[in-house]
Chain A
Amino acid sequence: MTVLAVLIPIALMLGVLGLAAFLWSLRHGQYDDLDGAAHRILFDDDRRPGPPR
């Protein structure tokens, strides 16, 4: 059963990692605009060379 001493900490560690990733994404507003983000990818900003700014 010594394998438990290795596997359980690993499992918990992975869980904590996932939780931390979720909390990070929440804090950085990744879920603020779910509708817009889904569509935004379809419109590429094909910026042609225009007049200099």
Chain B
Amino acid sequence: MTRCAHCGSEVDAAVIAGGDAGTPFCCAGCAAAHALVCDLDLADYYRRRALDPSQAPTRPDGADLATDWSAFVRPNGIALRLDLMVDGLQCAACVWLIEQVLRRDPRVSAVRLNMTTRRLALAWQGDHRDADSILAPVVKLGYRLAPYDPRRLDAASAAEEGLLLRAMAVAGFGAANIMLLSVSVWAGHVQDMGPATRDLMHWLSALVALPVIAYAGRPFFASALAALRGGRTNMDVPISLGVILATMMSLAETWTGGSHAYFDAAVALLFFLLIGRTLDARARGKARSAAERLVALQAIAATVIDASGLHRRVAAAALEPGMRVLVAAGERVPADGRVLSASSELDISLLNGETVPQQVGVNDRVFAGTVNLGQPLTLEVSAVGEGTLLAEIVRLMEAAEQGRARHVAIADRVSRLYAPVVHAAALATFLGWWLGVGAPWQPALLNAIAVLIVTCPCALALAVPVVQIVACGRLLRRGILVKSPTALERLARVDTVVFDKTGTLTTGRLELVGAAANDDLHVAASLAAASRHPLARALVRAAPAVVPAPAVREVAGQGLSLSTPQGEIRLGSRRWCGVDEGAAAGPELWLAQPGRTPIRFALLDRPRTDAADTVDRLKRSGLDVELLSGDRAPTVSALAAQLGIARWQAELAPADKVARLATLNSASRRTLMVGDGLNDAPALAAASVSMSPASAADISQTAADLVFQGERLDAVREALDVARRAERLVRQNFGLALAYNLLTVPLAVMGLVTPLVAAIAMSTSSLVVIANSCRLMARSSAP
């Protein structure tokens, strides 16, 4: 077995050899890409790169060679600017190669590819339309590009992340410097530091602490204020209260020349908490930007035919009813509409999960999101925005989301119980010392504030975010993106898993079943190579080394034909090949050769390789598994039997799926919905938590809480497993944090907590919680 010299996928040596030394290639596209790289004198790339075996090979498929980017170009000073997302990056050498290729173009004035976010910023001088020719070599190399609007995408999350990071830096500066001063004060307790020097230290601490707290505490103060205004409490309320009271009291102590100043504890608390928040925001930002990239890659542009017959590319969002749109073969239909001319077949699997393409002719209605498989179609746009089927599905989805029981994050539930108890304890301490013991009110107040400081929930506030970061990071490395902050909590409590069929349990790609005679398969595949029809593509995949036959004629909805000296060879439907009418059992193709009886090729949308295994494991771990599909009953029942799923329903409309989930929810089941189609989006929103594969329709990915990449369905089990262990760790962390409080609160009530004790106790409890959370990282996944 040798490897393709460009994309690195395994090939038979015999497939295609090119170049001077008979270099092996898997396809003509790779050979062309290799030649391009060598021509540009960049062959070093092949020496420098390190291919990632877990990623799909970067193989040019030729389908999107001609894309018009001009609709997304923005003027930027005297230059033009285009922002793109790049898919297919394997390593740093890919970044180097793309930048070098673009730099060789004399028109390009600046190019920078960010490897972390996979965003490419390109600037050039000249015309809008130059973008196509500048970017063509990159597409030819096998990378996929998608335009995006940077102003729309980043603004909010980037601003939040920046604020947290700056606040953390300021708090870190303050914590380090105040601790420096505090250490000398503590050392002074045993080495008789004079009260004047101690007061100087306290004043200096105050000088640093006050602006630092005012700046770095803003994220907490703002959130606490918002919660209080809404009549709720959250974790930020006790935090803010503790920090503010500690600061006020320390200021009063400093003013009166007292010995107890808690500036160090207050600032260190903010610093620890900000570390947790920043990491949390970064991890989620990373997952979100990865999800956005996936969606952007599927974003569509439309070709509009204007009154004078000119073709113009516009963003799909800019379409208006009445416009005429051309949908080329292989393109996604950009809007709902009516067919004006030609007839073709549409892949509607994203819409309703059906694998067999639908026939459309003049005046038929077509829907956004379907893929044109046959001839180019001209459509008249009938509805955009609110009027489309897509918008209807969105409305259904929003309704389902409102019906979903509002999940309260575990941290908020704990803090709802915690805050009143702590505040009551502080009040009781004050009253006990003042009225009970008969102490003057100042020391009584001091002790009450000490209670608030030591119970300030540093460890408690870290308990959830640290586990989440570790868990999300772990899942991200396995190609599972966690989009919603509470998704893991909800996932841990799931008891029913509901699957969609097409594209979820199955690969969504048809494959040849049974072995046909090799010669026949070769003949059939050589014809099929001329078509984009999914049945034909499946045949070609089964015989990849076949040379396409020239001059194949395609009749939409019927089949292919090739004239040979011996007579006509036909490949297509039953009727096209002259077979007597009969019921077709599932998708099939017939091959009719002159003088021979037609041969049948049966095709099947195979389940993912590990689907049966995953379903079995889920059932063994005590979960109920259900199958809800929009496809026909025989197909669904066959698959359910094959995978061992007892409960299944077929031919469901999107609303039926939502209804079924509502039934389950009202029976107080906690459901995990796994689906990919447009028709699944409302159901994804209705379930208590949802997952969808990265190949899903973009609206489904938006609706889903988690998105998983790759072919393996095992991701579902992996996510459940990590979520359950994360839940256990969160509970342990709460236990540890509460145990720490049980230990320190009595000390504080008795008035024994000095600033030194507070600082030590707070750091250790936080470190213990962080260390406990990191166990999730170390332990390997259970088999």
Please list the residues of chain A having a beta carbon within 8 angstroms of any beta carbon in chain B: 1, 4, 8, 11-12, 15-16, 18-19, 22-23, 26, 32-36, 38-40, 42-43, 45, 48, 53
Contacts and interface: CB of A to CB of B under 8 A. Distances in A.
A43 B44 CA distance: 10
Contacts of A1: 197
Contact of B96 (A18, A32, A43): A43
A22 B171 CA distance: 13
Given A19-B173, A22-B169, A26-B162, A33 B116 contact: yes
Given A15-B176, A34-B116, A23 B93 contact: no
B204 interface: yes
Interface of B: 41, 48, 91-93, 95-96, 100, 106, 113-117, 162, 165-166, 169-170, 173, 176-177, 180-181, 197, 200, 204, 208
A11 B177 contact: yes
A33 B165 CA distance: 16
Contact of A12 (B162, B170, B177): B177
B188 to A, nearest CB: 11
17 contacts: A4-B200, A8-B181, A8-B204, A12-B204, A12-B208, A15-B173, A22-B169, A23-B166, A26-B166, A32-B116, A34-B116, A35-B115, A36-B92, A36-B114, A39-B92, A40-B92, A40-B95
A20 to B, nearest CB: 10
A8 to B, nearest CB: 6
A18 B170 CA distance: 10
Given A12-B208, A19-B173, A53-B106, A35 B116 contact: yes
A22 to B, nearest CB: 5
A36 B48 contact: no
B173 to A, nearest CB: 4
Say whether chain A's binding surface is mostly helix, strand, loop, or mixed. helix
A23 to B, nearest CB: 6
A50 to B, nearest CB: 8
Q: Closest 10 CB pairs between A and B? A: A39-B92, A36-B115, A43-B96, A33-B114, A19-B173, A35-B115, A35-B116, A33-B116, A22-B169, A15-B177
B114 A43 contact: no
Given A15-B176, A19-B173, A26-B166, A4 B116 contact: no
Contact of B117 (A23, A26, A33): A33
A33 B121 CA distance: 13
Nearest to B184: A4
A18 to B, nearest CB: 7
Contacts of A33: 114-117
A19 B115 contact: no
Given A33-B116, A36-B116, A43-B48, 7 more contacts: A11-B180, A18-B173, A19-B173, A35-B115, A36-B115, A40-B95, A43-B92
A23 B117 CA distance: 22
Nearest to B181: A8
A42 B92 CA distance: 9
Nearest to B103: A45
Contacts of B48: 42-43
B162 A39 contact: no
B180 A39 contact: no
A4 B564 CA distance: 100
Given A4-B197, A33-B115, A35-B115, A23 B169 contact: yes
Contact of B114 (A23, A32, A42): A32
Contacts of B204: 8, 12
A27 to B, nearest CB: 9
Contacts of B96: 40, 43
Contacts of B173: 15-16, 18-19
A7 to B, nearest CB: 11
A26 B170 CA distance: 13
Nearest to A37: B115
Contacts of B41: 48
B42 to A, nearest CB: 11
Contacts of B170: 19
Contacts of B169: 19, 22-23, 26
A46 to B, nearest CB: 9
Contacts of B95: 36, 39-40
Nearest to B158: A32
B577 to A, nearest CB: 54
Contacts of B115: 33, 35-36, 39
Nearest to A12: B177
A42 B91 CA distance: 12
B53 to A, nearest CB: 19
A19 B162 CA distance: 15
Given A1-B197, A11-B177, A15-B173, A36 B113 contact: yes
Nearest to A8: B204
A16 B204 CA distance: 14
A33 B170 CA distance: 23
A43 B92 CA distance: 9
B294 to A, nearest CB: 19
Nearest to A48: B41
Nearest to B48: A43
Contacts of A23: 166, 169
Contacts of B92: 35-36, 38-40, 42-43
Nearest to B104: A50
A5 to B, nearest CB: 9
A53 B162 CA distance: 41
A19 B174 CA distance: 10
B555 to A, nearest CB: 50
Contacts of B197: 1, 4
Contacts of A26: 162, 165-166, 169
A53 to B, nearest CB: 5
A15 B172 CA distance: 10
A48 B93 CA distance: 19
A43 B176 CA distance: 38
Nearest to A46: B44
A34 B116 CA distance: 7
Nearest to B177: A15
A26 to B, nearest CB: 6
Nearest to A32: B114
Contacts of B200: 4
Contacts of B208: 12
Contacts of A18: 173
A22 B71 CA distance: 39
Contacts of A8: 181, 204
A44 to B, nearest CB: 10
A33 B630 CA distance: 43
A21 B700 CA distance: 44
A18 B114 CA distance: 27
Contact of B93 (A4, A32, A35, A43): A43
A22 B162 CA distance: 12
Nearest to B115: A36
